[in-house]
């Protein structure tokens, strides 16, 4: 990954990032970040790890994250533990930037997927370890015909050349810096209307697995804690993303 001096300076001028490690190919930026925090969490705080491709990129529930050359894959190490709804704020930041930069409409598939025309363009992974929160972002900016057949119905890309991609990256870091400072003070509530406005599958039925229980219900929105609100016909449930072990949004629309 080759960040220009200018882009590097722009990123390093934020309070979020104080050092950048750039790679061509690694297993996963999350794994490197985790090792750095485990070695020395103080030193690791404020580190951004970015790569051109990943051999073992992963997402929520340990799912593989397709990471060919040309995509955007990075992790930022934040030196404190944030509430899990930071992943919603991160997704919202990506969505709003896509709308502003590319004039494309986005939807947010709770908790952490960003969709363009109903297909996933970006995914967010927030993990905690020791005293740190690791924010991993994957964005499909590679050429569209790299998307394998089996992902074609679910994934999309906004192809960008390197110069455009790295400006998008620095814009995103600035956006995250602003939004995280609001989140630190006021938590998720200020973001609630913007998230709900873009929330996918409202009014549709989904299945959610939480611990040993499985719920089926209609999506009503998210609450001020960032929990999804579903109506299972008997009661309204607010389910937190940290409690969810799987979910399936590919269900039929309610009529
Ligand atoms: C998801 O959709 O479940 C989250 C996907 C997160 C992918 C990013 S790519 C950069 C970072 N490194 C990883 O291995 N995963 C995250």
The pair of structure tokens assigned to 203 is 């009014």
Q: Are 165 and 63 members of one domain?
A: yes
Same domain, 188 and 212: no
- pLDDT confidence band for 240 (50 / 70 / 90): confident
Q: Is the domain of 45 the same as that of 13?
A: yes
Q: What is the pLDDT of residue 243?
A: 64
| Residues of the domain holding 250 | 201-254
214 and 151 share one domain: no
Mean pLDDT for all residues in the chain: 92
Please write the tens of the pLDDT for every residue from 4-42.
999 999 999 999 999 999 999 999 999 999 999 999 999
- Whole-angstrom Cα Rg for the chain: 18
CATH of the domain at 110: 3.30.930.10
Instruction: Say which CATH number the domain at 232 has.
Output: 2.30.30.100
Same domain, 76 and 32: yes
Ligand 1 midpoint to CA 59 (Å): 4
The residue among 195, 214, 240 that closes a domain is 195
Does residue 254 surpass a pLDDT of 50?
Answer: no
Q: Which of 33, 119, 136, 249 to mutate to test the pocket of ligand 1 (most atoms within 8 A of CB)?
A: 136
Residues 132 and 212 in one domain: no
With beta carbons less than 8 A apart as the criterion, state whether 26 and 54 touch. Answer: yes
Residues 50 and 156 in one domain: yes
Same domain, 157 and 237: no
For residues 250 and 152, membership in a common domain is answered with no
Distance between CA atoms of 229 and 222, rounded to whole angstroms? 5
Rounded to an integer, what distance in angstroms lies between the CA atom of residue 244 and that of residue 220?
Answer: 17
- Are 122 and 107 spatial neighbours (Cβ–Cβ below 8 Å)? no
Average pLDDT over residues 197-216: 86
57 lines ligand 1 (CB under 6 A): yes
Q: What tens digit of pLDDT does each residue of 100-122 get? A: 999 999 999 999 899 999 999 99
Residues 6+ apart with CB under 8 A from 248: 206, 207, 208
Same domain, 26 and 115: yes
29 touches ligand 1 (CB under 6 Å): yes
Number of domains in the chain: 2
Q: 113: burial class by Cβ within 10 Å (0-12, 13-18, 19+)?
A: buried
3-state secondary structure of 155: strand
Last residue of a domain, one of 163, 180, 195: 195
88 and 188 assigned to the same domain: yes
Q: 59-73, 177-191, 205-219, 237-251: which range is least confident on average?
A: 237-251
The verdict on 188 and 206 lying in the same domain is no
What pLDDT does 253 receive?
43
Percent of the chain with pLDDT over 90: 82
**What does the pLDDT read at residue 244?**
67
Rounded average pLDDT over 179-192: 97
Average pLDDT over residues 72-92: 96
Does residue 95 carry a pLDDT above 80? Answer: yes
Task: Identify the pLDDT of residue 92.
Answer: 98
How far is ligand 1, taken at its centre, from the CA of residue 194, in Å? Answer: 23
Rounded to two decimals, the pTM is 0.94
Alpha-carbon distance of 79 to 81, in angstroms, equals 7
Of 85-99, 120-134, 203-217, the range with the lowest mean pLDDT is: 203-217
Is the Cβ–Cβ distance between 70 and 141 less than 8 Å? yes
Mean pLDDT along residues 47-62: 96
Final residue of a structural domain among 168, 195, 222:
195
**Looking at the predicted structure, is the pLDDT value of residue 200 above 50?**
yes
Higher pLDDT, 243 or 134: 134
Whether residue 145 contacts residue 138, with contact meaning beta carbons closer than 8 Å, is answered with: no
Q: What spacing in Å lies between the alpha carbon of 140 and ligand 1's midpoint? A: 11
């Amino acid at each position: 990954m080759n960040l220009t001096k200018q882009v590097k300076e722009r990123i390093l001028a934020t309070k979020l990032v104080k050092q950048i490690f750039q790679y061509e190919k690694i297993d996963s930026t999350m794994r490197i970040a985790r090792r750095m925090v485990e070695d020395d969490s103080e030193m690791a705080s404020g580190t951004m790890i970015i790569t051109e491709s990943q051999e073992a990129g992963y997402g929520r529930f340990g799912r593989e994250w397709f990471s060919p050359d040309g995509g955007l894959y990075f992790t930022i190490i934040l030196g404190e533990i944030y509430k899990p709804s930071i992943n919603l704020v991160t997704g919202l930041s990506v969505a709003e930037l896509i709308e502003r930069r590319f004039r494309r409409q986005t939807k947010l598939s709770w908790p952490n997927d960003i969709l363009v025309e109903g297909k996933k363009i970006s995914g967010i992974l927030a993990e905690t370890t020791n005293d740190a929160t690791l924010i991993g972002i994957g964005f499909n900016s590679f050429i569209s015909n790299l998307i394998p057949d089996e992902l074609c119905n679910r994934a999309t890309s906004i192809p960008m050349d390197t110069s455009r991609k790295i400006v998008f990256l620095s814009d995103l870091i600035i956006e995250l810096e602003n939004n995280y400072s609001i989140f630190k003070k006021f938590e998720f509530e200020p973001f609630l209307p913007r998230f709900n406005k873009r929330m996918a599958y409202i009014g549709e039925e989904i299945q959610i697995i939480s611990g040993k229980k499985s719920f089926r219900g209609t999506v009503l929105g998210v609450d001020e804690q960032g929990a999804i609100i579903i109506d299972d016909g008997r009661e309204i449930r607010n389910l937190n993303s940290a409690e969810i072990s799987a979910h399936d949004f590919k269900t039929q629309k309610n009529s």
